[in-house]
Amino acid sequence: MSSENIASPAEASTDQNTELAVPIPSSPTRILLRLPVKEWEYAHSYRAAIEAYLSWANLPVQDYRERKHNLFIEPLQPLDVPQKRFHVAIDLYALSYDVKDMKDVEHEIHAVRRDSEGNITVRLPRPEAHVAHILQKTREVTDEKWLWGGEYVWDRARSK
């Protein structure tokens, strides 16, 4: 996040552990994490990726644990369907914003990798020249299916 998208200190969140004010974005922001399927071996291991991103971005992990962010986790495909990556979306401080149109939401995309020793790295997808294209293609799905604030359209469609 760039410093121009940071709220004033009066609008800041407080990390319970440090009591330091942590600025929240001044506009709604969705973070898209791309995770290679082969590096995240069990169903809930994506939580480590979320916490790694928040630490990397200097955002309090405690806010995630207190459910101040809304999450969407892309379901894994059946084993017979090839899938290289899956996505996790983090709507930062989702309840702080009233979003009517996903076009008004700033988006960032990051690759989250885990090596064989369990070390996690966060970075822009490579090659960096393709970031805008990757983000555009991802948003073609997520803007319609993963609405701001937690309405998960795929679940709603299944329940009818």
Higher pLDDT pick, 22 / 157: 22
What pLDDT sits at residue 115? Answer: 87
What pLDDT sits at residue 44? Answer: 64
Domain residue spans of the chain: 27-158
Task: Please write the tens of the pLDDT for every residue from 122-143.
Answer: 988 777 778 888 888 889 888 8
Residue 71: exposed, middle, or buried by beta-carbon count in 10 A (0-12, 13-18, 19+)? middle
In angstroms, rounded to a whole number, what is the distance separating the alpha carbons of residues 155 and 144? 13
What pLDDT sits at residue 57? Answer: 92
